[in-house]
Each structure stands twice: as structure tokens, then as C-alpha cells.
């Protein structure tokens, strides 16, 4: 997965309010990634790291942490959404809503679908964006998560 090289003007980006901004490539969430996330966050619940015990649950195997799926929005947005020309920095401003709808089975592929819901000019010359994000799981009808993601872009 590589960062998108597509760059658009601020006016073109602004024109995308109310429309889909982009869809990322598929990203595999393998057991090694899940294990590393468990180590990084000290969340070693068996449903994430023990395939034998997890196989006995309704999930039928290990699943990614919800927060792992959420953290993967970073590479997904970098791959699926155009950059704004003249941007010097973008920062995560938070979320107004996050719902973990369906578990991501180990080995599944996910992708992000990004819809620009709003864009607000700020007094310091930056902009605040609101993106409605859906993380899809390949072959599963229900998404992994849906979120309202806020970002700040500086020029």
C-alpha cells in the first residue's frame, strides 16, 4: 500500500463536500499485525491472539482489535484520498462517532471508503474536515466500522 500521489486544489477539494473522496486499496489484517498491536497496547485478550481458544467462540477464530481497525484508517486514507495542493501538514482532530459494527477476522482484507461530509475554514488559515468513513471487509456485507472523522489541514 502506497500513499496516493493524486493532488487536488483546495477549491477542487471543497467541491467534493457531500461526495465520495475516494476508496483505498485492500489491506490484509494478518495475525502477525494483530499480535504486534496486542503487544503495543497490552491488550492480549485471547479472542485476538489465541487461535485455538478463539476458534471455540462465535467468531470461529481470532479477530482484530477494534482499535487496530480504527488505527488502520491512517494508511487507508493516505492510499485512498487525494492530498490538497499546498498542504504542509494534516493532523487527526478526533472523532464525533465511531461504531465497531463487525469483527475483522485474522487474514481478512479491509479497505476504507471516504465521504467528505464537511469542510470549515478556520481563523488561522487551516481547514477542518469531517469525513464519514466506512471500513469494508472483503466478502462480508456488514462493515468493520463506521466513523465521523475530523481532521485539520494546514497550509
pLDDT tens digit sequence for 28-66: 999 999 999 999 999 999 999 999 999 999 999 999 999
**Total-model pTM:** 0.93
What is the percentage of the chain residues whose pLDDT exceeds 70? 97
**Residue 20 CA: distances (Å) to CA of 66, 113, 115, 116, 147:** 24, 8, 4, 6, 14
Alpha helix segments (H runs only) across the chain: 10-14, 31-41, 46-49, 51-54, 66-71, 73-80
How does residue 19 score in pLDDT terms, banded at 50, 70 and 90?
very high
Q: Read out DSSP for 60-89?
A: SS-B--HHHHHHTHHHHHHHHSPEETT--E
pLDDT value, residue 3: 59
Question: In the CATH scheme, what architecture does the domain 7-27+67-154 have?
Answer: Roll (3.10)
Res 4 pLDDT > 90: no
**Residue 32 CA: distances (Å) to CA of 24, 64, 106, 126, 153:** 22, 10, 9, 38, 33
| C-alpha triplet 138, 30, 95: angle, nearest 5° | 70
**Residue 149 CA: distances (Å) to CA of 18, 74, 96:** 14, 11, 7
Average pLDDT over residues 95-109: 98
For all residues of the chain together, what is the average pLDDT? 96
As a whole number of angstroms, the distance between CA 72 and CA 125 comes to: 28
How does residue 124 score in pLDDT terms, banded at 50, 70 and 90?
very high
Average pLDDT over residues 10-34: 98
User: How would you classify the pairing of strands 19-23 and 108-121?
Assistant: antiparallel
Average pLDDT over residues 135-154: 98
Sorted by where each begins, the domain ranges of the chain are: 7-27+67-154
User: How would you classify the pairing of strands 145-154 and 127-137?
Assistant: antiparallel
pLDDT value, residue 2: 54
Amino acid at each position: 500500500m502506497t500513499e496516493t500521489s493524486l493532488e487536488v486544489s483546495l477549491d477542487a477539494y471543497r467541491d467534493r463536500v457531500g461526495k465520495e473522496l475516494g476508496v483505498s486499496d485492500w489491506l490484509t489484517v494478518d495475525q502477525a499485525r494483530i499480535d504486534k498491536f496486542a503487544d503495543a497496547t497490552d491488550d492480549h485478550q485471547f479472542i485476538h491472539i489465541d487461535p485455538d481458544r478463539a476458534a471455540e467462540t462465535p467468531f470461529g477464530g481470532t479477530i482484530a482489535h477494534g482499535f487496530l481497525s480504527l488505527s488502520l484508517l491512517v494508511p487507508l486514507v493516505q492510499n485512498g484520498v487525494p492530498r490538497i495542493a499546498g498542504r504542509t501538514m494534516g493532523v487527526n482532530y478526533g472523532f464525533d462517532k465511531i461504531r465497531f459494527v463487525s469483527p475483522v477476522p485474522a487474514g481478512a482484507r479491509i479497505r476504507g471508503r471516504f465521504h467528505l461530509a464537511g469542510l470549515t475554514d478556520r481563523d488561522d488559515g487551516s481547514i477542518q474536515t469531517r469525513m464519514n468513513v466506512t471500513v469494508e471487509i472483503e466478502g462480508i456485507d456488514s462493515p468493520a466500522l463506521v466513523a465521523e472523522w475530523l481532521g485539520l489541514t494546514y497550509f
